[in-house]
Structure 1
Amino acid sequence: MDLISVSSSNLKAVGYDPASQTLQIAFRNGGRYEYYNVPPAIHAALMAASSKGSYFDARIKNASYRYRKLR
């Protein structure tokens, strides 16, 4: 999955696979996670958000998406 660098103090890069609805996020602290069954609209809103870190916290991290740490 290709990741796109984003302007954020917390998130480094974001990738998305619409076929599997898998969102991948690389954090500035070095962690990388995959989140599953994330609708395309959530990914689009994350990429459009003025504060990607705040959007991630409110709409992805606290939304109980299943996830796993990649590294």
Structure 2
Amino acid sequence: VDRWWTEIDAFIDTGYSNAKSEGINRMIKLVARAAFGFRNADNQRLRTRCVTTRRARGHLRTAQL
């Protein structure tokens, strides 16, 4: 805790963290592993973008669309 106190204190003061970016990075890495072997780099990029959209992560309901 002592080593991370500056970051912990900044979160307590501001309420901001990098949790969203860490979560998206985790999803991109998982998709990249699943898409390994695609011959076309554009297909792998598109698959990564599809998985990391809000709709794919369950943030939007179909009634809202």
**TM-score, structure 1 as length reference:** 0.28
**Higher-strand-fraction structure:** 1
Bigger radius of gyration among the two:
2
Higher relative CO (Cα under 8 Å, sequence separation at least 6) belongs to 1
